[in-house]
Structure 1
Amino acid sequence: MESSLYISCVSLSCGGAERVLSVLSSHFADKYENVKIFTWKETPVFYDFDTRVQIISIERECSSKNTIQKCFWFRKYIKRNIPDVILSFLAKSSVQVILSTIGLKVPIVVAERNDPRQLKGGWAMIKIRDFLYNRASGILEQTNNNRKYFTGSKYKKTDVIYNPVFMEPDHIGSAVRTNKLKIIISVGRLEKQKNHKLLIDSFAKLHNLYPDYCLVIYGEGAARKELENYISRFSLQKFILLPGNRTNVLDEMKKASMFVLSSNFEGMSNALIEAMCLGLPCISTKVSGSTDLINDGANGLLIDLDDREQLFNAMKRIIEDEEFALSLGMEATKIYSQLNVDKISKEWVHYINRFMSN
């Protein structure tokens, strides 16, 4: 009898969870005969997926954007095609999966991809999610700090698996070997969560000392216009660039002088992982994931949330102390041994197999 793994995600657009899924699904297809990905929102697929993995748009199949109708369609599909396990990425997707499968004896594993203390919809949505998650067979978190949220007898089999790193071994440390441009780089959706205004404020002050440096923020999102207007207030349009999404962002990252993550909260930042593995000196706010990855002053720098002065001083130190910057980057590459995709994918399969046997 063939093994079947169904995976649920809100969409397959450009994002951290979607990128993780694009890589892991190929490894899942090596282990399970029937792997399908269900999306709740129809958007263009940004990343490449293994051809053995079938992608099904619930919105397209049921010809409706209505959440209730989509849940009914998904429930009917699951009843007709009982999988061994359903793996759901992101809270919105997981809530819909659990609601759709009430009474069906299918193990559901939810994979949280952000700080569970923060959720669109506020406290009411958090209460609904927490109530439904105690019906899940297992919960996977990205960080040890976030795992603490789902401890207790009502949550079953909570575990932590870090994000894998998405690069070939010969790319590891390539930023150390590349001639540096006077560029400070950041990668992340243009949304309030990422707190790009903190980075813009600190860079504006830094620019007074080092006018030949540029800040480049890759990503796209609803806050683009607001950020463009904010940059205009400093008259720094030529020095702070928002190029949007890029499929070759690693090539741009390795030429930069440093990487900055300015978020208010995170799950585990793929961009930070990649920057560290490339060998860039990295600065991050003290968010979940970053505190798991960075040993402050040894393989990166940690700053307090929303602290403009600390971020300014950290960037200034990296520019002025080349030996220190090189040391941070070289030490950062060592996280690859913990996060290479073969190791992480085996951890995922091992966890999922616990429910396959049931």
Structure 2
Amino acid sequence: MKKVMFVCQSLGNGGAERVVSVLTDELSEADYRVFILTMTKEKQVYNINENVEIVAPHKNYNAGILGKLQRVKIIRDEIIKHKIDVVVAFSHYNAMFSVIASYGLPVRIIGSERNDPAQLKNRKILNSTRNILYKKLDCLVCQTDEAKAYFPNKIQEKTTIILNPISASIIDPYCGEKEKKIVTFCRLEPQKNLRMLIDAFEMLYEEYPDYELNIYGEGSERENLLNYIVSKGLVNVISIKPFCKDVHQKVMKATIFALPSNYEGLSNSMIEAMALGIPTVVTDCPCGGARMVIENNKNGIMVAVDDPKAMYEAFKKIIVSPKFAKELSNNGVKIRDKLNCKKIAKQWKKAIDG
């Protein structure tokens, strides 16, 4: 039985962590023995199949290069200890660490680029180091064509595109009367540009004061966003709620799901909202994740990055036309078949088996 070890930061709230939970569940039911190595200690949010072994040798890492070498040693020690055949490393740092850790060992290394790789272009040393080490990967998995195209040809030659899976356990789409709510669920980080969403909602609220905005998530921007909401005088209609395991039940009746990111890989919250039948409005941001699944004005709406007026106009287009909203909803749920977890797991098995 082939031993596969996923390397990720944690099993806390995050898109990569959700994908790891879904993939390991599928692979553990196939002919693989599956491990998850988490590099940092964080509260586990996602359920993990009982057949998956979680390896969590959490340590207090030193700063700088010494801390990075500690992580490399942990990965190497676990590869040797468990006689791992394949490492699947989520994030560029973990992929780089895994390449170094595997030196001289008979192990296949797969890197998984989870975000926009161009975000490192101004960090020249890190960008160059990543490219050098990625050339040593046996396979690189990207989520979008644009992400793949960013890398040099030698890396592209060993790159495959695999979209994120939708969990088989996701609840059924809601077909009843919608609530006058706009929702999002994501990490509260600068990348998500949630001020744009607040600005767009402010414009909408002037015309439709019976609507509210619910933001679900945790992150470094929480206090800044709360202060921004206070400054707008919108505390009675905009709320920031903690991330919860049953977030799908909380948002399923919403009129609109919105995500105003400056950049993304392939947003899990976006594809899950579509699968729930919530009309979806997102930015057409680098590295093209929305473009991989949305046909504009057919199964969702894409607007320009950092354009709150365009997002407001998309909200209004949905609100004034229940027929259009229903079309978006009905077409959106078709993503369940496209991103069926068994179909996506089959693509991953091909990458793992080489």
TM-score calculated relative to the size of structure 1: 0.92
8 Å Cα contact 1:133-1:155 kept in structure 2: no
Match of 1:307 in 2: 307
What CA distance in whole angstroms lies between the structure 2 residues aligned with 1:97 and 1:253?
A: 38
Quote the residue 2:150 is aligned against.
149
Cα-to-partner distance string for 1:24-83 (whole Å, 9 max, x where unaligned): 1011112244211111112221111011111111324xx655332232233233234432
2:171–2:276 contact (8 Å) kept in structure 1 = no
Determine if contact 2:192/2:262 at 8 Å carries over to the other structure: yes
2:140·2:155 contact (CA, 8 Å) conserved in 1? no
Q: How does 1:84-103 map to 2 (within 5 A)?
A: 84-103=85-104
Could you tell me which residue of structure 2 aligns to residue 321 of structure 1?
321
Rounded Cα–Cα distance in structure 1 between residues aligned with 2:183 and 2:127: 33
How far apart are residue 115 of structure 1 and its match? 1.1
Give the match for residue 216 of structure 1.
214
Aligned-residue offset at 1:120:
10
Distance in 2 (CA, whole Å) between partners of 1:170 and 1:135 is 40
Q: Distance in 2 between matches of 1:281 and 1:80?
A: 48
Partner Cα distance (1:59, 1:276) in 2: 36
CA apart distance, 1:151:
5.2
Paired residue for 1:166?
Answer: 167
Inter-partner Cα distance in structure 1 for 2:152 and 2:37: 28
Q: Percent identity?
A: 34
> Which residue does the alignment assign to 1:297?
297
Pair 1:132 & 2:133 matched: yes
Q: Deviations over 1:211-233 (max 9, x none)?
A: 11001111110010111111111
Task: From the superposition, tell whether residues 120 and 57 of structure 1 become closer, same or farther in structure 2 (CA, over 3 Å).
Answer: farther
Question: Secondary structure, in 3 states, of the residue corresponding to 1:58?
Answer: coil
**8 Å Cα contact 2:26-2:341 kept in structure 1:** no
CA distance in 2, matches of 1:241, 1:169: 24
> What is the deviation of 1:167?
4.5
Tell me which stretches of 4 or more aligned residues in structure 1 moved more than 6 Å.
Answer: none
Gaps of 5+ in 2: none
* Map of 1:17 onto structure 2: 16
Q: Distance in 2 between matches of 1:144 and 1:315?
A: 28
CA distance in 1, matches of 2:50, 2:165: 21
Matched positions, count: 348
Q: Pairwise mapping of residues 208-357 of structure 1 onto structure 2 (< 5 A)? A: 208-287=206-285, 288-354=288-354
- Which residue is equivalent to 1:55? 54
Aligned-partner Cα distance in 2 for 1:121–1:92: 16
1:109-120 matched pairs, under 5 angstroms: 109-119=110-120
**Alpha-carbon separation, structure 1, partners of 2:130 and 2:226:** 35
CA distance in 2, matches of 1:167, 1:80: 32
Whether the aligned pair in 2 keeps the contact of 1:285 and 1:302 (CA below 8 Å) is yes
TM-score by length of 2: 0.93
- How far apart, in 2, do the equivalents of 1:120 and 1:236 lie? 38
Question: Unaligned stretches of 5+ in structure 1?
Answer: none
Cα distance in 1 between the residues matched to 2:22 and 2:44:
14
Provide, for residues 304-355 of structure 1, a one-character-per-residue CA deviation record: whole Å limited to 9, x for no partner.
111111111111111111111111111111222111111111111122111x
Q: Which moved more, 1:264-273 or 1:333-342?
A: 333-342
Distance in 1, matches of 2:231 and 2:319, equals: 25
**What amino acid is aligned across from residue 13 of structure 1 in structure 2?**
G
